[in-house]
Amino acid sequence: MGNTVKPLMVPWDFTPVGEYALEHAVKIAKIDGNPVYLVHIARKKDEVTKLRALLDAQAVELFKKYSIKPHAVVRYGTIFSSLGEIADEIDAEMVIMGTHGIRGMQKLTGSWALKVIVSSKVPFVIVQSPPDNNRFKHIVLPIDFRREDKEKVNWLVYLHKHFNSKIHIIKPQKSDKRLLKGVNTNILFTKKILDQKHVEYDIITAPGKKSFARETIDYAIQIKAEIIVIMTTKNIGLADYIMGADEQYIIANSAKIPVMCINPRIGLTTGGFAAMGG
């Protein structure tokens, strides 16, 4: 998130949902002039040449439609590793990936989502439909007790800078004093950074009558949010990432609100926040 304009990467599967993701990428690219990469992972080596020709031709058509000519990349491999490898190779700003919503979530739950979303250090923005407009005016940020939540703030500043966004922070009802302390610590940290960067925000407490994930989505629908920012959780003991039911529910939300998933940087501590360029 420095001064260099980095590429936006769109996994491409020759479906309308892939083009929805491209439309979101175009929305962002037209602000900063980011290059856009369409990436298709071929299942068979002998299909790469044919698919590359197909994608090159499609890139020409998409240029006519969106006035941005995407770079076409076709590689043999698996989406579980190849997408992350390519994102790292091109130093992508973010990966914008389409999914088919709740019916297709057998593919995007549990280990499938996890392997793809955490395959790179860059954020994944998961979309289910075309953008409603050319802005991310209202962003919902659920904040809980996990320390990793603090890393989200620089991406909020990034979105605010580009779209003049307002951040709507929602926190869960907590009666456990230890968990409540964690939530409040994250809130104070987030407020401090947003105040320093002159980012407009408000804070509400979820009613506590449903799961925090459901109340996050309800709130996002209520304020007509254009994106929700969440984080995958690093399980330090297993040196691996986990994705809870709440995160899965938010990613697959039936309102089809885009979700930015941020992967914690390995070894990041509270004091190391500036490592993200804040």
**What local confidence, expressed as pLDDT, does residue 40 receive?**
95
Identity of residue 142: P
Of 129 and 276, the one with more pLDDT: 129
Cβ atoms of residues 103 and 17 within 8 Å: no
Q: Is residue 149 part of a domain?
A: yes
Q: Is residue 133 part of a domain?
A: no
167-171, 211-215, 263-267: which range is least confident on average? 263-267
Q: Is residue 20 part of a domain?
A: yes
d(CA 32, CA 162): 8
Same-domain pairing of 118 and 224? no
Boundary-marking domain end, from 107, 127, 147: 127
Each residue of 90-117: b (16+ CB within 10 Å) or e? Answer: bebbbbbbbbebeeebeebbeeebbbbb
Of 266 and 84, the one with more pLDDT: 84
Count of domains forming the chain: 2
CATH number of the CATH domain containing 47: 3.40.50.620
Same-domain pairing of 149 and 272? yes
Pairing between β-strand 201-205 and β-strand 166-171 as defined by DSSP bridges: parallel
Domain coverage including residue 75: 8-127
Cα 9–Cα 10–Cα 12 angle in degrees, nearest 5: 140
Same-domain pairing of 83 and 187? no
Same-domain pairing of 94 and 191? no
Per the listing, tokens 């949010």 go with: 225
Identity of residue 17: V
pLDDT level of residue 105 (50, 70, 90 thresholds): very low
Same-domain pairing of 147 and 43? no
Please write the tens of the pLDDT for every residue from 14-32.
888 899 999 999 999 988 8
Same-domain pairing of 108 and 51? yes
Region 91-114: what's the mean pLDDT?
A: 65
Same-domain pairing of 146 and 258? yes
Boundary-marking domain end, from 127, 156, 180: 127
d(CA 132, CA 150): 29
Question: How remote is the C-alpha of 202 from its chain's centroid?
Answer: 21
Q: Is residue 200 part of a domain?
A: yes
Q: Is residue 2 part of a domain?
A: no
Q: What is the pTM of this model?
A: 0.86
Per the listing, tokens 């104070």 go with: 188
Q: Is residue 132 part of a domain?
A: no
- Compute the Cα dihedral for 107, 86, 32, 118 and give only its sign: positive
**What local confidence, expressed as pLDDT, does residue 270 receive?**
33
Same-domain pairing of 207 and 88? no
Same-domain pairing of 121 and 143? no
Of 138 and 149, the one with more pLDDT: 138
Same-domain pairing of 120 and 145? no
Of 89 and 237, the one with more pLDDT: 89
Residue 126: φ, ψ to 5°: -100, 125
Q: Is residue 1 part of a domain?
A: no
Q: Is residue 14 part of a domain?
A: yes
Cβ atoms of residues 117 and 263 within 8 Å: yes
Same-domain pairing of 219 and 151? yes
Strand partners, 95: 9, 124
Cα 175–Cα 178–Cα 182 angle in degrees, nearest 5: 100
Coil, helix or strand at residue 50: helix
4-8, 112-116, 156-160, 196-200: which range is least confident on average? 112-116
Same-domain pairing of 154 and 262? yes
Please write the tens of the pLDDT for every residue from 210-245.
999 999 999 999 999 999 999 876 554 444 455 566
pLDDT level of residue 114 (50, 70, 90 thresholds): low
Boundary-marking domain end, from 72, 104, 127: 127
